[in-house]
Structure 1
């Protein structure tokens, strides 16, 4: 990958899109992870306004410290970057008092995790509306189109996706080129939706390099019967997520009414 050319292409794409949309710039949720760090830096390089928002909800201390470190570094490098912190913990706790928490604990925990992501999406769009900004998505290719590892209408609710055609490994290469802080480059990827330090690999059962391999194998026409051992296990994990999360990856289905019914 020609990293410099890719960065230049994304920055120009962002700038042209924002100019044509007649907006002032971008708003991005900063999590302390590689994807939001790379996306916010790419947006900052456009020279347009960039609003970075921290939105903790019972966040792990390591996530908070990495997010702050990245924002401070970004503000020193780019005068067009601003930041605010919106503590959504009280909002989340109040929400929990108004809904039923009955059911299997794992199901409740997942529903609440997705609620965190949707509260953050609402916050991003609130500030985007106030300041005439676009919500920049931070999903990469293997998350968005491989395993669907994001929340529908949460972190999946965005105006544009600058890095969605890049594999996770490619995002890291760009992060290195853009001088993303080492603490973020070395941290285990985590969605941070459970208030602890569990990683994406802990949840999925496979690492991103393994998932990228599986995605390439699927695209080349391979099936589970082509593999044994760990490769078979990883491919099965990938295919399970890919199949179960198709509803995130395809357009919203529309019930088309036959013309003779109208």
Structure 2
């Protein structure tokens, strides 16, 4: 990390922490709750929340979770508790609840739609759990979505990991998330891990699902914002831009306010 990059990371870090602290004070809550997945986004958000000095509750919510995700999450929580006395943690094993849900609803012959619906169900069970902890401890649910996910390709579950009170890193590109996480000394195992949503009970990465990595998606997002079109590119660039535009279009329902039927009679 160069001196200029470090200086920029320091400024961003300070700005987000001050924003979090001001918001919590004005909302008259005690602190924050963060769902810990073993990924870089939740590691960064929980570290930023911890820096406010307010109570920060880290919650693990495994549902048939891959062991690599669990071990990275445990490593991060242990490190965070050593660094910040205001950090505590809880574990809510949601696997039995998830299995009970599956038994209570009909199945589907369309495996792709069934697996996607169950993946989204995992995210929504976790959202419900975070709000339970937030409720009993007077905390805010801190979201872990970054700018590419939340406003580029809509790679999140509506009313799942998208159901939050505040979004501390929603204006950071994934590359900026990495830079700030490195500056804040997030565990190397998390910095090196492939991004994954962990919603399918295996180690498939975000790139496996999307068809492009975050560097490519950032590139496409910048070019789209600058008015470029598919006709401006060829080869892999055209393929990535097409992926970005398709996801950005079909996921607008996640990024826009809920449509309201206005009555003018």
Q: What is aligned with 1:51?
A: 57
- Structure 2 distance, partners of 1:204, 1:63, is 20
Deviation at 1:125, TM superposition (A): 0.1
**Partner of 1:109: helix, strand, or coil?**
helix
Residue 131 in 1 paired to residue 133 in 2?
Answer: no
Residues 241-262 of structure 1: per-residue CA shift (max 9 Å, x gap):
000000000011110000xx2x
Residue 82 in 1 paired to residue 78 in 2?
Answer: no
Deviation at 1:100, TM superposition (A): 1.0
The partner residue of 1:142 within 144, 148, 152 is 148
The partner residue of 2:240 within 220, 230, 234 is 234
1:183-194 equivalences under 5 Å are 183-194=189-200
Q: What is aligned with 1:157?
A: 163
The alignment's TM-score, normalised by the length of structure 2, stands at 0.97
Q: What is aligned with 2:108?
A: 102
**Partner of 1:82: helix, strand, or coil?**
strand
- Structure 2 distance, partners of 1:208, 1:96, is 33
1:1-262 equivalences under 5 Å are 2-258=8-264, 261=265
- Structure 1 distance, partners of 2:191, 2:108, is 39
The alignment's TM-score, normalised by the length of structure 1, stands at 0.98
**Partner of 1:12: helix, strand, or coil?**
helix
- Structure 2 distance, partners of 1:120, 1:171, is 23
Deviation at 1:102, TM superposition (A): 1.6
Deviation at 1:21, TM superposition (A): 0.3
**Partner of 1:161: helix, strand, or coil?**
coil
More off after superposition, 174-183 vs 94-103? 94-103
After the TM superposition, which segments of 4 or more aligned residues of structure 1 sit over 3 Å from their partners?
A: none
- Structure 2 distance, partners of 1:32, 1:149, is 17
| Unmatched segments (≥5 aa) in structure 2 | none
**Partner of 1:213: helix, strand, or coil?**
helix
- Structure 1 distance, partners of 2:212, 2:109, is 28
- Structure 1 distance, partners of 2:107, 2:116, is 11
- Structure 1 distance, partners of 2:239, 2:110, is 27
